[in-house]
Structure 1
Amino acid sequence: MRGKHMNQKKVDDNIKNGIRRHIDSIPRIESHYLRQQTSREFIYSGKSLSELFRDYKRDCDMKQVPSDQCDLCNSYRNALGDHKEQLAEKYDLHQKEKELSRLEKQMDKEKIKENFIVACYDLQAVLPSPRGDTSIFYYKSKLNSFNFTICEMKSGKVECFFWHEAHGGRGANEIGTCVLKYLQETAESVNTEELEVIFYSDNCCGQQKNRFLFGMYMHAVAKLKIKAITHKFLIRGHTQNEGDNAHSVIEKAVKRYLKSGPIYEPSNYVSIIRSAKKTGGTFFITFRIFLTQFLQVRHIPLTK
């Protein structure tokens, strides 16, 4: 019978709640003549229904979707009917893994001491130059710079490795070189055979989730005063970590700098990063000038 089947299309609750919030934001007035007889409210007469609809569409366009949203979580939230039921089991497992991953990181942070270091590393978004409001910059070829950060949890120490694309890319060689340099400096400063290091990162295969990086870890354990190196990968779509705070501070500093003038070359970014942190000391920057300073990670010997 008409209307009795169970295949009706349903609007997602998030969409409904968004519409309700928009309606609640519309200016309303009480009835001038019948306020004693009714509690109804009326839309102010200065807006027609067409104008209200245009306001709603404009409001939807202004809400930018964060770039780091999880595709599986979004798929589940936007799915309807049978498709949502099919994704339910996978979604529940995904949420459980996310919580376990965060719990694991929290437990590791509680173990931190002088010879037990927990750190996360990640590449910041590409930093192009020249950059500014000058219209001619739009037609200029951009030179992209890269800022690789290693953030030690609890202590908040952040080390930045900065280079541009003329000197290196964003592959295993560049990432492996930066991490190895960090391990060398850490092993030298701690100076104990009992040093253990745990890294957290996202799941980028071209950068750190590959055999070349793990070969570099084996080399570091064999050659340096390091007892063990453990690398743990955060769950896909939920890779937010302490390093994001450093990236956010740097991005805000870049925006402040752009208000006073353009960024012409990569060295401008170095100055910005050095002065970005206003409290707790500055970011330490390693500025790599020559491509030959990046190691061929796949050729690093593994034996002592």
Structure 2
Amino acid sequence: MPEMASNEGSDIIMDKFLKDAWATPPSSPGTSYSELELSPYTHGMRISIENDEEFFNFPTTARAKSDTDNNAAESKKHSNDSIKCDCDIHTSPSNQHLPEIKILEENKNKRRKRNTDNWKREINKKKRMLGEEYIGFRKVQNKIVQDVPRMKRVLNKSICAKACKKSKTFDCKRFSEQQRKHIFANFWKNINWQQKQKYVCSLVHVQNTKATKRSKLKKSNSFAYFLKDGTERRRVCKNMFLSTLGLKAWTVRSWLTNTQVSCSSKKKRNSTKNSKKKLVKNFLASLPKLPSHYCRSTSSKLYLEPVIETKSQLYSLYKNNALELSLPVVSRCYFDNIFSEENISLFKPKKDECNTCIAFKTGNISEAVKLCPKLNASAAYYKTKLAVHNFTAYNLVTKEVVCYWFDETAADLKSSTFANFYMDYISSILRKDVKPVVIYSDGCTYQNRNSVVANALLRLAIEYNVDITQKFLVKGHTQMEVDSVHSVIERKLKNRQIYLPSQYISTTQESRRNPFPYIARELDYTFFKDYDNKEYQLYESIRPGRKKGDKVVFDLRVLKYSSDASINYKLSFESTFLELPHRPKRKWNKNTPHALYLSRIPIQKSKYQHLQELKHVIPSDCHYFYDNLPYKQ
């Protein structure tokens, strides 16, 4: 991978470089834009330890194929002066504020929902409901064909009998043409079919006819028709009623006789539909889920465990479960609609990408959390499992990789946990050779951009008498080389069953052979120190403002930790360093912090019981580990 040099030192303008990479023609002779190969990486945190000059890798690097030899020679030339490494927690999302580059946000990763309003059949139904011209249906040789043009509903002229005009019972003469037009327009333009039926039924009074001894019954019911004059109902003749509403007699009679039956059957259908929907929701609720690590501060969405990879697999699992319990099975389409309504998703979180980078996307992002046990047995689908995390450090010069593996009983995902990784890895390098350190990281608050990590890095700067600069990459360009390690490990884990967390260690070591295997460390609770303790911190806050409305931590772009126990900041890569408005403490504890945990962290009792239930599909020599897991009583 080519390295690009700059003589601007630690003040290199990151976002300007990102723009210039696209705007500036290639400097090498014989290289054109058509020969540039884009190499995307997933987001992470980059560390650069330097002597005289500062080097960094462009997050979406323009790599010229014709300059391979030149780049290799340039890299070899500076290999003795610069050591670079990448670090990334496998569970670290980025959720950051971007003052530098305005990126058009798009609705990404959202399942498109069907819009029935644009369907031809639905448009035709709507036209029919509004009284407009539409295409009707007819039956041809036991087939339903839609090819019958229907005329537009119009207000017909009322033809009342002479007796009706003179009658004191009917008030047809009280309705003017203007009133009839208003009633007609309101009936066809403002209400749906169900409301139309209720409206007609409320204006027609049905009476049972009585038979006399002299005459036989010709009809069982008689109808009295009414129209509304404001809020008052006035009786009119049948012709006036039908012509004003633009209806036919058989339509009114059908609505009057079938409304009660249709309402009761509709309730029955709705109750059946709701019961099926409830069964699907109960099934989805029974599946184990994981919280979002990528936007936990702004999203409450839960993710299904990565043992379920596709919706087809999920639907098959639901169908088999329903058949075993003799429950009704809904269609795949209806199942997907219910799944979309719930606040859950398949576990495929993606890194933040800008509109330019997403066009050159080449592969899937590896999972953000590993599970143990990792089984192919169907019994594992309904059980919660032990979460295992991986923090990876990558040295770009030596290509040395260190993976820190730990499960949820060793540590949780809080700022002090990540501060321990910073302290351990950077101090191991500084013990060999003291050089200025530049850290490139995303803006994830609980992981990178917080006062706990800032104070831990300041302790390192004071202890080794070296300046440490931490730069927060622009959103959309936080993809890092370290994610190649995760990808290699992911391929090695494919189709492999994991029974113990220690198997992730051996798998990591087997994932690469050349130039040398990955270094994997399995951590327990004794590794972690309490850097969150205020006694060991110089600065209580790294906020660049004091009052309401001032800049906040999200606005920080660069932090510089100096050996004189001071922290300076930048709000943009182009600006100059400013001193934090908060004064450091005069007295603070310089000793190594106390242990963060006194014992293993207990898991939930329900998770412990689920793991015990999975022992019948786990080899017996692994049972001891699960029997000794701490859990909440």
Give the TM-score, by structure 2 length: 0.30
Structure 1 residues 148 and 227, CA gap change in structure 2 (3 angstroms): same
Structure 2 CA distance for aligned equivalents of residues 154 and 179 of structure 1: 19
Structure 1 CA distance for aligned equivalents of residues 78 and 531 of structure 2: 28
Partner residue of 2:411 out of 168, 172, 175: 168
State the match for 2:384 in structure 1: 141
Q: Unpaired segments of 5 or more residues in structure 1?
A: 1-93
Partner residue of 1:203 out of 435, 440, 443: 443
Task: Report how far residue 101 of structure 1 moved.
Answer: 9.7
State the match for 2:507 in structure 1: 272
Task: Report how far residue 120 of structure 1 moved.
Answer: 2.4
| Cα contact 2:436–2:467 (8 A) shared by 1 | yes
Structure 2 CA distance for aligned equivalents of residues 112 and 204 of structure 1: 31
| Cα contact 1:173–1:295 (8 A) shared by 2 | yes
Partner residue of 2:426 out of 179, 183, 187: 183
Structure 1 residues 112 and 217, CA gap change in structure 2 (3 angstroms): farther
Task: Report how far residue 140 of structure 1 moved.
Answer: 2.0
Task: Report how far residue 280 of structure 1 moved.
Answer: 1.1
Task: Report how far residue 153 of structure 1 moved.
Answer: 2.1
| Cα contact 1:173–1:296 (8 A) shared by 2 | yes
Tell whether 2:88 aligns with 1:122.
yes
Deviations 1:167-209 (A, max 9, x none): 112221111101101122112222x4xx111222221101111
Please provide the CA RMSD for this pair.
3.1
State the match for 2:480 in structure 1: 241
Deviations 1:231-287 (A, max 9, x none): 12221122111101111111111115x1xxx21121111111111112111111222
State the match for 1:8 in structure 2: none
Structure 2 CA distance for aligned equivalents of residues 272 and 295 of structure 1: 28
Task: Report how far residue 115 of structure 1 moved.
Answer: 6.4
Structure 1 residues 217 and 263, CA gap change in structure 2 (3 angstroms): same
| Cα contact 1:187–1:226 (8 A) shared by 2 | no
Tell whether 2:402 aligns with 1:159.
yes
Deviations 1:58-115 (A, max 9, x none): xxxxxxxxxxxxxxxxxxxxxxxxxxxxxxxxxxxx9867446999999623796556
Structure 2 CA distance for aligned equivalents of residues 217 and 162 of structure 1: 22
Structure 2 CA distance for aligned equivalents of residues 157 and 99 of structure 1: 31
Partner residue of 1:255 out of 483, 494, 497: 494
Residue 298 of structure 1 aligns to a residue whose secondary structure is: coil
Structure 1 residues 113 and 136, CA gap change in structure 2 (3 angstroms): same
State the match for 1:36 in structure 2: none
Structure 1 CA distance for aligned equivalents of residues 438 and 398 of structure 2: 14
Residue 480 of structure 2 aligns to a residue whose secondary structure is: coil
Structure 1 residues 138 and 170, CA gap change in structure 2 (3 angstroms): same
Q: Unpaired segments of 5 or more residues in structure 2?
A: 1-13, 25-45, 57-74, 91-367, 539-587, 591-633
State the match for 1:282 in structure 2: 517
Structure 1 residues 95 and 113, CA gap change in structure 2 (3 angstroms): closer
Partner residue of 1:293 out of 509, 524, 527: 527
Residue 297 of structure 1 aligns to a residue whose secondary structure is: coil
| Cα contact 2:391–2:404 (8 A) shared by 1 | yes
| Cα contact 2:55–2:82 (8 A) shared by 1 | no
Letter of the 2:512 counterpart: K
| Cα contact 2:407–2:501 (8 A) shared by 1 | yes
Q: Sequence identity, in percent?
A: 27
| Cα contact 2:370–2:388 (8 A) shared by 1 | yes
Residue 532 of structure 2 aligns to a residue whose secondary structure is: helix
State the match for 1:27 in structure 2: none
| Structure number with larger C-alpha Rg | 2
Residue 423 of structure 2 aligns to a residue whose secondary structure is: helix
Structure 2 CA distance for aligned equivalents of residues 221 and 147 of structure 1: 26
State the match for 1:48 in structure 2: none
Number of aligned residue pairs: 202
Structure 1 CA distance for aligned equivalents of residues 498 and 474 of structure 2: 35
| Cα contact 1:160–1:286 (8 A) shared by 2 | yes
Structure 2 CA distance for aligned equivalents of residues 114 and 170 of structure 1: 36
Stretch of structure 1 that moved more, 241-250 or 131-140: 131-140
Structure 1 CA distance for aligned equivalents of residues 443 and 527 of structure 2: 25
